[in-house]
């Protein structure tokens, strides 16, 4: 027996059950995005490596991106994220677009990571961005979209928290405790990794990079100050807006939220399970320079991304996964014998023309086998037309849920199926 070829590590098979969830999630994302007036777009799955090299950070490009040389000799990458592509697209048509520009997308991405619970190498991601608005109100709008989505899928503030910080605030506070401009990138990386390392390992990492024990102690005190947001006019205004919108219960200030990508310049945020289980559900922030970095004129933006893997983990944990119908057809038309196969297909076509999804069993086998098939796929109705029914101008409908059987006039078939709940 030949060995079955396995799928690529870190990818997933989407059988109908998994595909039904992905389609449902896409639908919920569309509802929320369009509720706020955002338009759907997409970008290429392949981009030139240079688009990411200076925009997303060394770790993403060197360690996580799927990079290869194409036949023309150019270095290209499967997209690990969407924001640089969005910035490029805006720069290309910058004078034609209407601002503020509200865009969203849901599609596949690839990162070469170690697969584990909540993390795959191929994943689907919701991206949503507001381009061309510099005010803090724009940040508040994106944050409110996060909260609105959680409400949409049934996740409460007791189950998920959206943690908010501001890079300008942290820049000012780090300067106060004596962190030099040269050391800021290192300190940002330290802050981002604080929960990922043991306390002693985290401190050792800082010492190895040139920080002193005193500066690390000052940094710890800074990160433990939950009232620090009051020193930021931006965050003060944002939290006030969110309160007026009725979303305040979802939010809290967290000075440890920095976000690893280099292009963030202001407000940054992440959403996590309130119990701090697993990875972030979503993350994003404000970026002021990205459109300019890819060749356009400077243009501010704010946005976030949410992967499909962790949100499914959270919904499963809180018993919020929807009960989805995997089989779209609720009607099966049986085939009595080989001579009536064409008639069965014609009957199925008539039912479909009335707007009802229908399967026609494709061969003449025993009726019991066809009924068993209808049961297994979750059909509600089975349509049977034997020689006697055809001769009398009638047709039989079995309701598998109600366990009833009705014979109706042939011309009344679709009307009966509609009235019976097909």
Residue 326 lies in a domain: no
Are 94 and 70 found together in one domain?
Answer: yes
Give the max Cα distance, the chain: 95
CA distance 422 to 137: 47
Are 341 and 311 found together in one domain?
Answer: no
Are 271 and 375 found together in one domain?
Answer: no
422 residues of the chain, pLDDT tens digit each: 789 999 999 999 999 999 999 999 999 999 999 999 999 999 999 999 888 875 555 566 767 888 888 899 988 999 999 988 999 999 999 999 999 999 999 999 999 888 888 789 999 999 999 999 988 899 999 999 999 999 999 999 999 999 999 999 998 999 998 888 888 888 888 888 888 889 989 999 888 888 888 989 999 999 999 999 999 999 999 999 999 999 999 999 999 998 865 668 899 999 999 998 878 999 999 988 778 888 889 899 999 999 999 999 999 999 999 999 899 999 999 999 988 899 999 999 999 999 999 999 999 999 999 999 999 999 999 999 888 888 889 999 999 999 999 999 999 999 999 999 98
DSSP assigned state of 335:
-
Are 208 and 73 found together in one domain?
Answer: yes
Write down which residue in 275, 294, 317 finishes a domain: 317
CA distance 72 to 48: 12
Are 172 and 287 found together in one domain?
Answer: yes
Instruction: Find all residues with CB under 8 Å of 308, minimum gap 6, and list them.
Output: 22, 25, 123, 124, 125, 126
With CA atoms as reference, report the closest residue to 417 among 328, 331, 307, 305: 331
CA distance 201 to 199: 6
For tokens 């490029």, the residue is: 88
Write down which residue in 317, 339, 357 finishes a domain: 317
Are 334 and 372 in contact by the 8 Å Cβ rule? The answer is no
Q: How many domains does the chain have?
A: 2
Are 174 and 134 found together in one domain?
Answer: yes
- The end-to-end CA distance of the chain, in Å, is 44
Three-state DSSP class for residue 323 = coil
CA distance 262 to 179: 18
Are 94 and 164 found together in one domain?
Answer: yes
Write down which residue in 317, 350, 378 finishes a domain: 317
Scanning 36-135, the segments in alpha helix (DSSP H) are 49-53, 58-59, 83-92
Three-state DSSP class for residue 378 = coil
Query: How does strand 404-409 pair with strand 331-333?
Result: unpaired
Are 362 and 275 found together in one domain?
Answer: no
Residue 6 lies in a domain: no
Instruction: Find all residues with CB under 8 Å of 91, minimum gap 6, and list them.
Output: 291, 294, 295, 296, 297
Are 354 and 272 found together in one domain?
Answer: no
Residue 324 lies in a domain: no
Residue 289 lies in a domain: yes
Dihedral over Cα of 136, 137, 138, 139: its sign: positive
Residue 59 lies in a domain: yes
pLDDT on residue 189? 84
Q: Which structural domain range is residue 257 located in?
A: 16-317
CATH number for the domain spanning 340: value is 3.40.50.800
With CA atoms as reference, report the closest residue to 38 among 123, 127, 125: 127
Are 45 and 168 found together in one domain?
Answer: yes
């Amino acid at each position: 027996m030949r060995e079955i070829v396995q799928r690529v590590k870190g990818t997933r098979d989407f059988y109908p059950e998994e595909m039904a969830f992905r389609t449902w999630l896409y639908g919920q994302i569309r509802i929320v995005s369009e509720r706020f007036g955002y338009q759907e777009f997409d970008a290429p799955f392949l981009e030139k490596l240079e688009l990411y090299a200076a925009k997303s950070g060394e770790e993403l490009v060197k360690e996580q991106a799927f990079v290869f040389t194409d036949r023309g000799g150019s270095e290209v990458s499967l997209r690990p994220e969407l924001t640089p592509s969005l910035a490029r697209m805006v720069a290309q048509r910058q004078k034609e677009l209407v601002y503020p520009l509200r865009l969203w997308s849901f599609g596949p991405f690839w990162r070469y990571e170690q697969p584990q619970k909540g993390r795959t190498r191929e994943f689907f991601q919701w991206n949503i961005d507001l381009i061309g608005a510099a005010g803090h109100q724009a940040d508040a709008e994106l944050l409110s979209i996060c909260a609105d989505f959680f409400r949409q899928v049934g996740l409460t503030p007791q189950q998920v928290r959206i943690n908010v910080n501001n890079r300008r605030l942290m820049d000012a506070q780090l300067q106060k405790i004596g962190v030099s401009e040269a050391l800021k990138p290192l300190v940002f990386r330290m802050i981002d990794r604080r929960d990922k390392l043991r306390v002693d390992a985290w401190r050792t990492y800082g010492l190895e990079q040139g920080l002193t024990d005193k500066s690390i102690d000052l940094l710890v005190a800074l990160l433990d100050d939950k009232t620090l947001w009051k020193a930021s006019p931006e965050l003060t205004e944002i939290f006030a807006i969110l309160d007026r919108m009725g979303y305040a219960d979802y939010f809290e200030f967290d000075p440890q939220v920095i976000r690893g990508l280099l292009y963030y310049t202001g407000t940054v945020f992440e959403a996590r399970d309130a119990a701090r289980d697993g990875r972030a559900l979503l993350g994003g922030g404000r970026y002021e320079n990205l459109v300019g970095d890819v060749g356009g004129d400077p243009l501010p933006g704010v946005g976030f991304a949410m992967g499909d893997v962790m949100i499914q983990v959270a919904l499963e944990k809180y018993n919020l996964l929807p009960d989805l119908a995997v089989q779209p057809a609720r009607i099966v038309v049986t085939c009595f014998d080989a001579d009536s196969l064409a008639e069965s297909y014609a009957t199925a076509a008539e039912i479909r023309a009335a707007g009802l999804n229908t399967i026609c069993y494709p061969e003449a086998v025993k009726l019991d086998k066809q009924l068993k098939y209808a049961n297994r796929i979750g059909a509600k109705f089975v349509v049977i037309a034997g020689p006697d029914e055809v001769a009398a101008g009638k047709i039989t409908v079995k309701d598998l849920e109600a366990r009833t059987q009705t014979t109706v006039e042939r011309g009344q078939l679709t009307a009966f199926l509609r009235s019976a709940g097909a």
